[in-house]
């Protein structure tokens, strides 16, 4: 999703209101390490940061972190269906709000709980 932003073409996808659950790679690795080292973790855990964001905010924060403009209109869902195909476009047009509550209850402390801190680390 950063490639269009890199070229100054970042914009919200479809409505821009769909929720994006995301995670920094260091936190993903940290969760795996915790699961391997601690026998108390059983079952399924969602590896996502505790603060999901709307697509519009995600794209806007990426543009800001990269020092790129963010002014283009939303990419219509119809265009995404044509470019990605109807099934694949659902992955970017329909939001999924995934909770990190279960991993937090296991006392995992996120290094990058919010998008701003994650992007600062990744982009500079």
Domains, in order of start, for the chain: 2-123 (3.40.50.720)
Condensed to tens digits (0 to 9), the pLDDT of residues 90-124 reads 888 998 889 999 999 999 999 999 999 999 999 97
Q: Read off φ and ψ for residue 75, nearest 5 degrees.
A: -80, 120
| pTM, rounded to two decimals | 0.86
Condensed to tens digits (0 to 9), the pLDDT of residues 13-43 reads 999 999 999 999 999 999 999 999 988 888 9
Give the Cα-Cα-Cα angle 83, 61, 22 (nearest 5 degrees).
70
């Amino acid at each position: 999703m950063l490639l269009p932003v890199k070229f100054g073409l970042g914009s919200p996808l479809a409505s821009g209101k769909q929720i994006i659950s995301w995670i920094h790679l260091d936190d993903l690795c940290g969760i795996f390490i915790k699961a391997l080292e601690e026998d108390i973790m059983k079952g399924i855990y969602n590896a996502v940061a505790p603060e999901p964001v709307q697509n519009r905010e995600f794209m806007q924060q990426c543009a800001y972190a990269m020092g790129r403009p963010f002014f283009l209109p939303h990419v219509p869902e119809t265009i995404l269906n044509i470019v990605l195909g109807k099934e694949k476009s659902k992955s970017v047009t329909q939001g999924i709000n995934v909770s990190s509550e279960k991993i937090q209850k296991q006392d995992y402390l996120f290094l990058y709980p919010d998008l701003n801190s994650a992007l600062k680390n990744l982009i500079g």
